[in-house]
Amino acid sequence: MRVIVTGCSGFLGGEIVRQLLRRDWEVVGLSRRETPDLVRAGMTHHRGDLLDNGYLDRVIADADVVIHTAAVAGVWGTWQHYFDNNVVASRNLLRACLEARVSQLIYTSSPSVTFDGRDQRDVDESEPYPTSWMCHYPHTKSIAEQEILAADQLGGMRTVALRPHLIWGPNDPHLIPRVLQRARSGRLRIIGDGSNVIDTVHVINAAAAHLDAIDALRERPEVAAGRAYFVTQDEPVNCWDWIAKLCRVHGVDPPTKSISFAAAYRIGAMLETVYRWTGRTSEPPMTRFVASQLAKDHSFDITAAKERLGYQPRLNMDAGLQTLMGDTAVTNAPSTGQ
């Protein structure tokens, strides 16, 4: 198997590469940044930009599987920036895969492609795409997801989209540092009544789901292909209790002060307006999307991933939290079903 992983320098992409290498497959990583640790582990790296079609044509040739994790995330920025990097880049990759006759294309999507600002409690993949969006990231991710799923069976290629929610784990450069930074500075507030339920997923489990998708597309494509799948720990938690645990694990006092959702939402809307008027490119300290994400339920039924992909979390929540405390026995445990 020759597997291409876009975004290999990212948090999730790097873990996918490490799990693939344990299968002794040929793994080729694509990213804009160098990845010396993954190269030392056995990955072949091609540095470049997915907006460059010539680059894609060279590196996709002879690939059996492409896993597309590369994306621009976040809640602030121009439409063009998100559209180019999340939609145009995915279209370029899709074209290159079809021309190279790649057998599988696995797209890393996001549960936010179904989020319209209201509570989502134990929803499954029948949840529709919104008709309006609070930021460009989920909007552009939804466009790419729909186009990649629509390409299933074109030229013999099979496709799936995976929607891992709130990926965390050791060396997380995004979620945990952001929470801890705000908690340390005293700027983190409980938004709403603090009762909202969320799903999360450890990076080992999120990566393993991608390998499960490869196996399912190879062994039972008629069951697995052409669909999107939520991917979680399968252990919904109270959002603010979980954040408090993360804080305590890292020796940080958890937040105790609160603000109503209505007030946080109004502040977010005001700041978005001010930042747009003044042309500021930095992210506002609060946005409507962030307020909604922190106050609303986000839990997902992963029955489809279990039954159609054979996905099961490799680490439960307690074991995952141990990896944050430097438990190398857990961190280095086998994490892929082979």
Is residue 196's pLDDT more than 70? Answer: yes
- How much of the chain exceeds pLDDT 90, in percent? 91
Q: What is the CATH number of the domain that holds 292?
A: 3.40.50.720
* Residues 116-122, mean pLDDT to the nearest whole number: 95
* Residues 33-54, mean pLDDT to the nearest whole number: 96
At 174 the pLDDT is 85
Q: How confident is the model at residue 269 (pLDDT cuts 50, 70, 90)?
A: very high
Domain that holds residue 95: 2-329
CA distance from start to end of the chain: 14
34, part of any domain: yes
Tens of pLDDT, residue by residue over 159-181, are 999 999 999 999 998 888 989 99
At 38 the pLDDT is 97
At 333 the pLDDT is 36
338, part of any domain: no
State the DSSP code for 10: S
- How much of the chain exceeds pLDDT 70, in percent? 96
Tens of pLDDT, residue by residue over 204-263, are 999 999 999 999 999 999 999 999 999 999 999 999 999 999 999 899 999 999 999 999
334, part of any domain: no
247-256 CB contacts, 8 Å cutoff, 24+ apart: 247/179, 247/180, 247/183, 249/321, 249/324, 249/325, 250/176, 250/180, 250/324, 252/180, 252/183, 252/184, 253/183, 254/183, 255/183, 255/188, 255/189, 255/190, 256/190
Is residue 330's pLDDT more than 50? Answer: no
At 325 the pLDDT is 79
Q: How confident is the model at residue 314 (pLDDT cuts 50, 70, 90)?
A: very high
List the one residue out of 57, 203, 82, 202 whose CA is nearest residue 133: 82
Backbone angles phi and psi of 186, in degrees to 5: 80, 15
173, part of any domain: yes
123, part of any domain: yes
Backbone angles phi and psi of 4, in degrees to 5: -100, 135
Structure tokens of 165?
Answer: 């929610």
- Catalytic annotation, pick one of 55, 82, 107, 137: 137
Is residue 331's pLDDT more than 70? Answer: no
- The HSE-up count of residue 240 (CA atoms within 13 Å, CB side) is 18
List the one residue out of 67, 87, 198, 68 whose CA is nearest residue 139: 87
Structure tokens of 250?
Answer: 């890292």
List the one residue out of 290, 217, 138 whose CA is nearest residue 127: 138
Tens of pLDDT, residue by residue over 231-246, are 999 999 999 999 999 9
C-alpha to C-alpha distance for 112 and 296, rounded to whole angstroms? 12
Is residue 327's pLDDT more than 70? Answer: no
List the one residue out of 71, 285, 314 whose CA is nearest residue 202: 314
DSSP 225-247: TTEEEEE--S--EEHHHHHHHHH
Is residue 190's pLDDT more than 70? Answer: yes
The number of domains in the chain is 1
216, part of any domain: yes
Q: Please enumerate in sequence order all residues whose Cβ is within 8 A of that of 158, keeping only pairs 6 or more positions apart, or say none.
A: 103, 104, 105, 152, 217, 221, 224, 225, 226
Structure tokens of 185?
Answer: 């500075």
Are β-strands 258-259 and 197-198 bridged in parallel, bridged antiparallel, or unpaired?
unpaired
C-alpha to C-alpha distance for 60 and 55, rounded to whole angstroms? 9
Q: How confident is the model at residue 112 (pLDDT cuts 50, 70, 90)?
A: very high
Query: Which region holds residue 192: left if phi is over 0, alpha if psi is between -120 and 50, else beta?
Result: left
At 175 the pLDDT is 86
Active site includes 55? no
Place of tokens 């899709």: 94
244, part of any domain: yes
Structure tokens of 74?
Answer: 């976040």
336, part of any domain: no
Structure tokens of 230?
Answer: 């939520």
List the one residue out of 169, 309, 294, 293 whose CA is nearest residue 230: 309
